[in-house]
Amino acid sequence: FYERGLGFKINGTPLIIGLNWLFLVYASHDIANRISGNAFIRILLGASLMILYDILLEWVAPYMQMWHFDSGYPPLQNFIVWFITAFILHSGFEILRIRTDNKPARMLFIIQAGFFVCIGVFSSLFIR
């Protein structure tokens, strides 16, 4: 369930979720472009980067009052669906030949992931 930490919602989903996913696809696709010249590998790598990011985010989301799962942990289905979604979006970037040469976007992706690691470690150690 989405909590109050993400602000304005449309039909129960925070607007920022869609905007952040657009940024994440863009940035992770740019990172994947730097690593591989093969379109399929870029799609797979970009989607995988987004899932790794999501794993970090799922870890800290409850601490940051973003969302929580009733069971306390996201189900495997959550990651499968997000991977498929990311794979489709990255495929769209390839099909539409969207250029993603953007160093600040790459850096922000990495900084955000690092931020979530720091929040997760701090929260795990000092907040229960």
CA–CA separation, 14 and 118 (whole Å): 24
| pLDDT tens track for 90-126 | 999 999 999 888 999 999 999 999 999 999 899 888 8
CA–CA separation, 39 and 33 (whole Å): 8
| pLDDT tens track for 35-94 | 999 999 999 999 999 999 999 988 888 887 777 788 878 889 989 999 999 999 999 999
111: amino acid identity, one letter: I
Using the 8-state DSSP alphabet, how is residue 67 labeled? B
Listed by start position, the domains of the chain span 4-123
pTM of full prediction above 0.75 = yes
- Grouping H, G, I as helix, E, B as strand and the rest as coil, residue 25 is helix
Give the other-Cβ count within 10 Å of 43's Cβ.
Answer: 23
